[in-house]
Each structure stands twice: as structure tokens, then as C-alpha cells.
Structure 1
Amino acid sequence: MKNILVIFTIGLLIGSVFGAVAIAKENKIEKFEKIKFSAPTIKKIDKYVVVNFKEANSWMREPGKPVLPLYVKTLEFPWGTKIVNVECKPIKIKKIALSSKIISAPNPVPLAAIKTASLKVTLDKKVYESRAIYPDRWYTYTVGCGLDGEKRVFYLKITTSPLRYSPSENMLYYAEEMSVKTTCVLPDKKPTVFPGQYDLLIVAPSKFTSELQRLVDHKNNLGIKTKLVTIEDVYSSTTGRDGAEKLKYFIKQAIEDWNIKYVLLVGGKKSLLFGDWGMAGPGHENDRLWYIPVRYSNLDDQEEGGYVSDLYYADIYKYENGKAVFDDWDSNGDGVFA
């Protein structure tokens, strides 16, 4: 969804809809669709079985729990659409008695140890000894914000589980069809008016601005409207928990005030010899070590605590209660950024 270009300076591209049957009433749309699934296939592997179906395009792989195929459908909606409801109803549910348990997903293994690690099949007793059917529902859905080219859109991701498993019965339940109903309210088609307009935003330390002015002039001469802002001005004019969050808020404001399409962040680490590079993980950021602040993404692979992620600056929005809001990458507020 996000297009990112890294040149040690960082450049990033900031960022209808219906098939089947759709019924519109003013701005409210109801979309109906039926999805057909092939009969499951069952393959024996040692003491276990692996189940699948032809249309599967993803997998449910939680360590210790049954590996089951999924069908994921993604729909695109105009920016500002409110997703009111999504309903998926299974049709023609059938069942198959299995000869063995469905194989479980292995625990993740660090990449550095993947050649020497042995993958052991372990069964989560809470699932395999339960009378409940796994997973506990036929579908889930999420709504996210993204880009289609240079156009901002909402993405509705519907994840269906046409195959469900009853471990206590060792029975596979499957739906031959799924009826999907999506209800949404489209935004008013009012043109957006921007106080100013630029194509490219460049952010850099003040000590680099004289050299960068030549780049700004060159871009403007090519018809690419360019705005140069110092990181010091960003820090003084924007609120946030640290430098990275201030810069991300500034980019969000630049999108909404100037309709920028691209961002170029100029600057790296001030010293190659001193200061943490991110191995200690999130929470150890130090803006004083960098010309441009960085965000460490959390990583727990027993090798390093985190890594520098420029995606943080491209992933500006998240969908919340029918609106696009600032995504701070810290949904539970614990200061660890995902």
C-alpha cells in the first residue's frame, strides 16, 4: 500500500469499488456477493492430516493450533467511506470425519537458526482437547488506510474460514458457499480545497539547507512544486512524544494543508562509531544521535531488539470509528512501536 524509496536519505510516497450486486440509497451502499468454494482436499502427513481447498489464498498459522486455509477478499472504497457493517453467512455446511488430527503450526524460528532448528509438532491442548470449533467464527474483517497510486483509499479486508475444525469430534466442517453483505456510507463528493499546494516536501537539518536549495530549485524548474523545511522548525512547531512522532505529525499536516505526494528525509546517523543503532530495540531512541529522527520497530527474534523502519513515516493513517486518524504505531500506549 505504501511505496517507499530509500537512498540513505529516505524518500517515500505518501498516500469504486463494487462487483456483484450493489443497491444504492443516496450515499448508502449495500453490496451482496456469493463466493463458492471447492470441496476440501485432505492429505496425510505422518500422524497428521493437512486440509486445503482450491480457492484458498492465505493460511491460519498460530503456533500449536490447527493449520487451516483461508480465503481473503479485499475491497477498495473512496477515502472517507464509513464501513457500517459486514456480514458473511455460510451456505450448505457439510462435514467430513477425519482419520487423524489436523497438523498444528510450528513455533517461529529466528532466521539465523533456521538451518539448524528442528520443527517439532506440538499441540495446544486448550484447542485440541476442546469441544469448541476452531476457529470460533466463519469470518473476520478489518479496515485500513492506503494508497491506490496517488489516490488515498480505504481497504476492507474480509478473511473467511470456509473450513472449521472440531478437535473433540475430529470432524471438519466446511461451507460450499459464503454469502457476503457489505453496508457502507460513501462520502459527499465535495472538492478538497488546500491552503497551499506542493508535490514534494523535503525535511533536513538547517546545516544542509544551502546545499539542498539547488535541488529545490531544480525540482521547481521541472514543475515539481517543492517545499524545504528544517527539522529544527518541525521540532519547534509540532507536538509529539519524541522527534519521530513530531516529524510524522508534521507530514500528516503537510498532506492535509499542502496535498503533498512525496517526502524526502535528508540525514542519517551523526556518528558511525558512537550511539545505539537500534539493537536494543524500541524505547531506546535518541534524537540527538541522528540528523533526522528514526523509529525502531519492535522485533523479538532473540538476535536484536529492534530495527530502524522508514515505513513508520509512510503509514500516516489508520481507520478508527469510520474515520482516518493519525497512526502512532502504539495502539496500547506502552511505548513499544510495532
Structure 2
Amino acid sequence: MKRIVIIFTALALISTSFTTIGTYVNDLQNQNVPQSGDIKELKMEITFSNPEVADDGNYATIHLEGCSSLLSPGKPVIPVYKKIMTFPFGTHIKSIEVSANDIEEKSLYKKIMPAYDAVPPDMHSSLPALQEDKTIYEGKEFPQTWYEYAAMGGIKDGKHATILSLNKNKVGYAK
């Protein structure tokens, strides 16, 4: 069986911080490959600028170029790097490893702005609420992990494919 090893190295938050993500996959489509398989490595480095912290009245906001925002009602809005990877149909992802090194703590003088509640379907009955999740803002770290991923089957360009969706949190929040 064919094995593919994918390793991503990302320089995070500060240019000295980095993350290594290793993904081991087996391609079941190619039955002609010997049982020992080939090992291939793909390495990708992504450099991020320093996060921009802005004052938004009662709260601080954080922006990181190249990242979208994690929006979970009541929880701090933090930058997250999202990557979608597509593999041949039948690829099995055996494991993903992520390690965060050189994590740097910085103090903010204000809390990070929480995400608004969802907008009601009619959009007229009320304004979305801006409420802090007390478990987060009074001491629990957010998010609980530095990354999340989901592997699934799907269709890409009209062909069946194995899709890996990876979300890497670049900033965490702790009281």
C-alpha cells in the first residue's frame, strides 16, 4: 500500500513559534504498490505576521493576516488558520500530530471581544446578544486544543475524494 507522509511546519504567532503537523495516509486505490509502500513527504511552511491587537471600546480585538476568526457565541473571537487538503478517493488518514513550540504569553488590558449570538431567522425580532461565556472569561482556557481536524469523503472537481479539513488556532485565551 502506498503511504504518504505530509508534514506541515508553520511559523505561528511570533516568527519563532512553529507548529509541525504530520499526517500519515494510505492510498487504497493503487493495488500494485508493494505492502511496504513508498513514503513521500510534503513540507509546507507558512509564516504569519505578529497579531494586531485593537481597542474596540469595552474589548480588545485580535487580527492575524491570513487567518479567519473562530466565532463561537459568547467565547473570545480569536484568529484561526484553516486549510483544506484533498487526497485521492480511498485514502485513509491514520494520524495527525501537532506540536506547538515557543508559545509566548502576552497580557492584554482588556478582555477579547466575545462572538455575538446567532441572528434569528427573521432578523427582526431582536438584535443578537453580546454575552460573555462565564466559564471562559472567569478562568477556563480557550480553546481547549491548538488544532481540530475532520476527515471526510466528498466530491472535488466532479471526482470522489478524501478531504481533510484542518483548523489551527494561532491565539489562545486565558484569564
TM-score (norm 2): 0.74
Structure 1 SS opposite 2:104: strand
Give the aligned partner of residue 133 of structure 2: 124
Alpha-carbon separation, structure 1, partners of 2:118 and 2:108: 27
Deviation at 1:88, TM superposition (A): 2.0
Aligned alpha-carbon RMSD (Å): 2.9
Instruction: Compare the two structures and name the one with the higher strand fraction.
Output: 2
Give the aligned partner of residue 50 of structure 1: 61
Q: 1:163 to 1:127 in 2, by over 3 A?
A: same
Q: 1:37 to 1:94 in 2, by over 3 A?
A: same
Match of 2:119 among 104, 109, 115: 109
Unaligned runs of 5+ in 2: 10-21, 26-35
Q: In the TM superposition, what whole-angstrom CA distance separates every residue of 1:200-249 from its partner, at most 9, and x where no partner exists?
A: xxxxxxxxxxxxxxxxxxxxxxxxxxxxxxxxxxxxxxxxxxxxxxxxxx
> Counterpart of 1:126 in structure 2: which amino acid?
T
Deviation at 1:54, TM superposition (A): 0.6
Deviation at 1:31, TM superposition (A): 4.0
Alpha-carbon separation, structure 2, partners of 1:46 and 1:129: 20
Q: 2:147 touches 2:169 (CA, 8 Å); kept in 1? A: yes
Alpha-carbon separation, structure 1, partners of 2:60 and 2:8: 35
> Counterpart of 1:149 in structure 2: which amino acid?
D
Deviation at 1:136, TM superposition (A): 1.0
Structure 2 SS opposite 1:112: coil
In our comparison, the structure showing a higher alpha carbon Rg is 1
Give the aligned partner of residue 52 of structure 2: 41
Q: Counterparts of 1:136-147 in structure 2 under 5 Å?
A: 136-147=144-155
Identity among equivalent positions (%) equals 27
Structure 2 SS opposite 1:163: coil
Deviation at 1:144, TM superposition (A): 1.5
TM-score (norm 1): 0.40
> Counterpart of 2:90 in structure 1: which amino acid?
G
> Counterpart of 2:122 in structure 1: which amino acid?
A
Q: 1:161 to 1:148 in 2, by over 3 A?
A: same
Q: In the TM superposition, what whole-angstrom CA distance separates every residue of 1:135-192 from its partner, at most 9, and x where no partner exists?
A: 01110110121112221101101100011111x2xxxxxxxxxxxxxxxxxxxxxxxx
> Counterpart of 2:107 in structure 1: which amino acid?
A
* Pair 1:163-2:171 in alignment: yes
Instruction: Compare the two structures and name the one with the higher helix fraction.
Output: 1
Q: 2:7 touches 2:41 (CA, 8 Å); kept in 1? A: no
Deviation at 1:19, TM superposition (A): 9.3
Q: In the TM superposition, what whole-angstrom CA distance separates every residue of 1:277-333 from its partner, at most 9, and x where no partner exists?
A: xxxxxxxxxxxxxxxxxxxxxxxxxxxxxxxxxxxxxxxxxxxxxxxxxxxxxxxxx
> Counterpart of 2:78 in structure 1: which amino acid?
L
